[in-house]
A and B are shown apart, each in its own frame.
Chain A
């Protein structure tokens, strides 16, 4: 999956989970600048991402999921074919 496709899907997920406009989400979006990003919403977002991309994050990865850019990287990493 191309990076911009991942970003598009992630924007949609974040906008629905945090109830904010998609246009307000960019690479700088993080748990520091979204008020609604509490621990429950954080979990909802993780589960929604896993469901959307059909992937499963490791414990270590879930701890890193704090900003848009990192999330895209982690998703990309998970979607790489594993040998």
Chain B
């Protein structure tokens, strides 16, 4: 897309999105204005109402204090402009002067990071000297400064602070495509559109994941997508032969990426027009494949259209379509999905198969949370057990009888430091059973735990089939000695429909009772995904006190609460 069309479309998108504004401060000692539109557009097309706030040029340190509250800060701190023409005068600077300069910058980094240590997301570009480096065989002074500063940045890295290596973009695109040498000297604009487009492509997944918009599911076609050839036409023997050919090794690379995603808790599915038995037999009786049919949680291998199959997968997993990625070698199928379900991200297997593994790798950042939790590692297993449970359920005549047979146990955890990552992840990833959909970083969760004005109740759920791990969270804020507010109630969709929703509220109210709380305030904020919780408080003794367009406010007198008292769910209260 031409830049001017991008500006026009960005403007339109900006006027259409009515979700909460996501403010981004790009602070820099060079001119980076052209980045604003490209970044806003990329995030707005992903339903984040991004707005790049105007910042002062070359006032990184002077204005550091003012960026404390920003949702996202991006730092372009260019060595090339730290001192005018430093690249060209470096040889005439004494070693002592170099040392003094380095110390000055280190102190400034310390100050800046101290100012931003509570910020939700800080994206800091590593220092680079490559834009103007000329020597291949000795280290210039600027190169040494650069390396020391980067080592220092790495040592300072914390949970909300991400370092971006610009050299990787220079490597991919080439310096001449990235650097605007013509305008740098006159107006201090160092980078080109090409550079910004790549840069934005790299940081967009980071911002999406930090906004609770990580991808969770990847669906593969089979023929020429998981292996070279068509099983129904070429047959197993021919495909085995293909796997040993020069093209075959690229499919092994694909298998390794798939296995890595599996281990990281990404849900893998198959959607293919084929005969199911033929595909599964081939996958499970073939030592030449690194993957087998058990790696794929749901398999829609039939002759129905793929659009319907994918909608079914979404329904069965209870996950929304915008958390899906679809990979297919057929342009027709990819176009169909792009048209019918535009919220799904798609990958067409490239015609040059050597490009395929690299293109698939580019999708990986969209899946990853900042830290892998135990729940991530066991997610596929947990879902598999859930499906076993579903078929077990069909044997029972009523739901009550079935739930009783499951022996559900809930363990509670109060203000538990060792599960901070998972608690943050629940706020970031849970959309459907989430009353307020407030996203919190690990740092914020840590602050809540330290703050006596807050209590955090997390629950883990297990039954005869599986231990689902930490899958529920409530954040309570104490307004005074008698009154508390339910800031967050979120439950993972894996444990819904088993009365845990009701029991969790019993646990919360019981906890508040012990704290001698008499009144509870709560609210439900409507999003496009949390339809199922809109009457949660109405159905559980709370009194509706105010309704506005997207929000309902409630109040509860604790004495009026009717406990659900579901006797077949066992609760282990953590000893405080």
Contact = CB atoms under 8 A, between A and B. Distances in A.
A51 interface: yes
Nearest to B37: A44
In this complex, the interface size class of chain A, counting residues with CB under 8 Å from chain B, is: 10 to 19
A48 B8 CA distance: 12
B33 A40 contact: yes
A11 to B, nearest CB: 11
A52 B7 CA distance: 12
A54 B474 CA distance: 55
A47 B187 contact: no
Given A16-B8, A62-B182, A52 B31 contact: no
B563 interface: no
Nearest to B189: A43
A47 B34 contact: yes
B182 A12 contact: no
A6 interface: no
A51 B193 contact: yes
B152 interface: no
Nearest to A12: B4
A39 B57 CA distance: 13
B2 A51 contact: yes
A40 B34 CA distance: 9
Contacts of B97: none
Interface in A35-76: 39-40, 43-44, 46-48, 51-52, 59, 62
Contacts of B4: 12-13, 16-17, 48, 51-52
Contact of B3 (A40, A47, A59, A62): A47
10 contacts: A16-B7, A39-B187, A40-B187, A43-B31, A44-B34, A46-B183, A48-B4, A48-B7, A51-B193, A59-B182
Given A17-B4, A40-B33, A51-B3, 15 more contacts: A12-B4, A16-B7, A17-B7, A39-B187, A40-B31, A43-B31, A43-B33, A44-B33, A44-B34, A47-B34, A48-B3, A52-B2, A52-B3, A52-B4, A62-B182
Interface of A: 12-13, 16-17, 39-40, 43-44, 46-48, 51-52, 59, 62
